[in-house]
């Protein structure tokens, strides 16, 4: 039976205008060409990180070496987004094994973080941007796990470029300077944050101004000598726990000592002859997969790229998928409904049938069977064919806003991803990993023998933007035939909550009016972030890559 939303094209024909993939890019987006290289490639959100990772590749290191090196540099150059005070996830294509590996390096709630403790302090929802949200920072353990399993360089070698920039300084890039300045007032409220991240303790560094972080250089040197154990139960960990408890947080040294990253099996769905891979919960990757499954039967190309009909369909599928993950997704051990149940034919068909082609839903109920985020995403590929999809985050900008004096990095506030509503997989409790927004993605394509081969490593950073961003970029490529940089540049929507949706400026007034007629509420897009994508596609020989003009980054290869 043909799904009802196939009729969207007819219902909204008067509002819909098809935009061919080959039309010029909108003048409000920076024009970049797709980058091609014969041997290796890296794409990050900051040029110095890209350069550091590229140098590793050129000197014989592999994609995993380059990714960890770049991540450490981003801790220095984009400190509001990322660092060893946060969590990370990765999907690795191992050329040697010819298979995908997933890594979940997210930390757990402290043993003192109970629902009763939070309620006793007067909270009715999880606090935000608070020391009470500090969970075990898992990123450093993830960097270590990647290098131990797949790397060819030492941890000390991977940290060396970051130590150099932290010690000697670097010029701050424009978008990062803007993000930094928007957090100056919050940084000023914490002694460690003020001393570390504000120039003269009063303001953020300006674009082009040099900035040093000697405290972070010392921390990285300590890690280079003693290894990650210095954080997970050692002297650095003790300093973190002492300060967090002093400010009212819930971590103990035993919590840090008990932390272990986890290797996991990626999950996937087919689409248009390709296969999209995401990590299983406690992340939101299943939402992107569920969206794709709902969209698969529709003739999306006939609706027209970014037409009202097309956007309505994507927005409504996003609402349904997010209702499901809010109800069912959290710490895997606490989930009573497995992720696979949200992707089976019967469940997806029932959800798809709820899409009304004529009206936007307010708040869909979950099927019978989340939050902002400050994040970096990077991807790297090497001459041997290894590829890595890598994401690292503090959750909010500068995370909790807490910097342990003398350490040089902010602690995440990932505990804000929990809920105080009782009885859910994501209800706050000691030792649980909270619901995560950060999700790396990977796409494979079967060869003539039906064996999955690596095709694209990609991600779109930015909280709840990530699943809807993954879907939009992928559809740009597979449905509308855009080249990689065009697929990244193309204007996006971001559904916020209820009927509220933001549209990037190049989406014209006719489309906005048509969506309004369907009961969508179009909000001012100027205060909304539409994510930052990085992507690498494997070619029969060499690679192509793209980097989002919404960030300061770049793709580069050799």
The dihedrals phi and psi of 391, each to the nearest 5 degrees, come to -135, 140
Helix (H) or strand (E) holding 251: none
Sign of the alpha-carbon dihedral angle for 468, 470, 471, 477: positive
Name the nearest CA neighbour of 326 among 393, 413, 430, 425.
425
C-alpha atoms less than 13 angstroms from C-alpha of 359 in its C-beta half-sphere: 5
Here the tokens at position 462 are: 């930015």
Name the nearest CA neighbour of 435 among 449, 454, 421.
421
Backbone dihedral region of 233: left (phi > 0), alpha (psi from -120 to 50 degrees) or beta? Answer: left
Name the nearest CA neighbour of 128 among 373, 363, 404.
373
Q: What span, in angstroms and rounded, lies between the C-alpha atoms of 109 and 122?
A: 19
Here the tokens at position 239 are: 């300093």
The dihedrals phi and psi of 313, each to the nearest 5 degrees, come to -65, -45
Helix (H) or strand (E) holding 459: strand 452-461
Residue among 34, 375, 407, 444 flagged as catalytic: 375
> Residue 523 to residues 138, 505, 528: CA-CA distances in angstroms?
35, 11, 9
- Measure CA 146 to chain center: 18
Q: What span, in angstroms and rounded, lies between the C-alpha atoms of 534 and 183?
A: 25
Helix (H) or strand (E) holding 56: helix 47-58
Q: What span, in angstroms and rounded, lies between the C-alpha atoms of 283 and 264?
A: 12
Residue 375 annotated among the catalytic residues of the structure = yes
Any idea which residue has 């154990």 for tokens? 229
Any idea which residue has 């936007």 for tokens? 360
Name the nearest CA neighbour of 57 among 376, 381, 379, 378.
381
Alpha-carbon torsion, ordered 462, 465, 471, 477, to 10 deg: -50
Q: What span, in angstroms and rounded, lies between the C-alpha atoms of 335 and 423?
A: 10
Contact, 505 vs 513, CB < 8 A? Answer: no
Length of the chain: 558
Which are the contacts of 122, defined by CB distance < 8 A and separation ≥ 6?
A: none
Active site residues per annotation: 375
């Amino acid at each position: 039976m043909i799904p009802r939303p196939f009729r969207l094209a007819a219902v909204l024909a008067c509002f819909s205008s098809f935009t061919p993939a080959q039309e010029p890019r909108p003048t409000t987006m920076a024009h970049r060409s797709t980058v091609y290289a014969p041997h290796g490639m890296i794409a990050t959100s900051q040029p110095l990180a890209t350069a550091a990772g590229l140098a590793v590749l050129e000197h014989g290191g592999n994609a995993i070496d380059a990714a960890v090196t770049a991540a450490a540099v981003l801790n220095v150059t984009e400190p509001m987004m990322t660092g060893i005070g946060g969590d990370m996830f990765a999907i690795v294509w191992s050329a040697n094994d010819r298979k995908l590996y997933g890594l979940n390096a997210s930390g757990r709630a402290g043993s003192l973080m109970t629902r009763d403790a939070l309620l006793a302090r007067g909270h009715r929802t999880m606090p935000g941007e608070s020391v009470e949200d500090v969970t075990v920072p898992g990123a450093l353990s993830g960097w270590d796990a990647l290098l131990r399993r797949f790397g060819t360089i030492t941890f000390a070698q991977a940290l060396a470029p970051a130590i150099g920039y932290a010690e000697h300084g670097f010029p701050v890039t424009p978008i990062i300077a803007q993000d930094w300045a928007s957090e100056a007032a919050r940084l000023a409220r914490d002694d460690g944050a003020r001393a570390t991240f504000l120039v003269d303790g009063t303001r953020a560094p300006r674009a082009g101004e040099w900035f040093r972080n000697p405290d972070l250089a010392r921390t990285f040197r300590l890690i280079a000598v003693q290894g990650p154990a210095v954080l997970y139960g050692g002297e650095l960990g003790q300093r973190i726990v002492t300060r967090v408890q002093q400010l009212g947080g819930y971590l103990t040294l035993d919590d840090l000592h008990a932390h272990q990253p986890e290797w996991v099996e990626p999950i996937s769905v087919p689409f248009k002859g390709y296969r999209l891979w995401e990590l299983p919960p406690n992340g939101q990757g299943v939402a992107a997969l569920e969206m794709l499954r709902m969209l698969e039967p529709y003739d999306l190309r006939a609706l027209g790229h970014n037409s009202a009909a097309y956007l309505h369909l994507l927005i409504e599928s996003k609402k349904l998928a997010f209702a499901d993950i809010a109800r069912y997704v959290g710490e895997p051990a606490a989930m009573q409904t497995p992720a696979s149940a949200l992707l089976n034919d019967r469940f997806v068909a029932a959800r798809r049938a709820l899409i009304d082609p004529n009206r936007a839903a307010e708040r869909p109920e979950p099927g019978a069977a989340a939050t902002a985020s400050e994040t970096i995403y990077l991807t790297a590929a090497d001459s041997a064919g290894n590829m890595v999809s890598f994401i690292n985050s503090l959750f909010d900008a500068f995370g909790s806003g807490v910097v342990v004096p003398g350490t040089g990095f902010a602690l995440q506030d990932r505990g804000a991803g929990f809920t105080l509503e009782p009885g859910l997989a994501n209800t706050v409790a000691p030792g649980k990993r909270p619901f995560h927004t950060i999700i790396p993605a990977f796409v494979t394509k079967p060869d003539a023998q039906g064996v999955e081969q690596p095709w694209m490593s990609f991600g779109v950073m930015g909280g709840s933007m990530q699943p809807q961003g993954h879907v939009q970029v992928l559809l740009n490529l597979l449905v509308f035939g855009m080249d990689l940089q065009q697929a990244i540049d193309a204007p996006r929507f971001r559904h916020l909550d209820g009927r509220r949706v933001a549209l990037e400026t190049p989406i014209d007034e006719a489309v906005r009016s048509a969506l309004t007629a369907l009961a969508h509420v179009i909000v001012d897009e100027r205060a909304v972030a539409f994510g930052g994508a990085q992507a690498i596609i494997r070619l029969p020989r060499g690679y192509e890559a793209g980097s989002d003009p919404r960030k300061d980054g770049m793709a580069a290869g050799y």
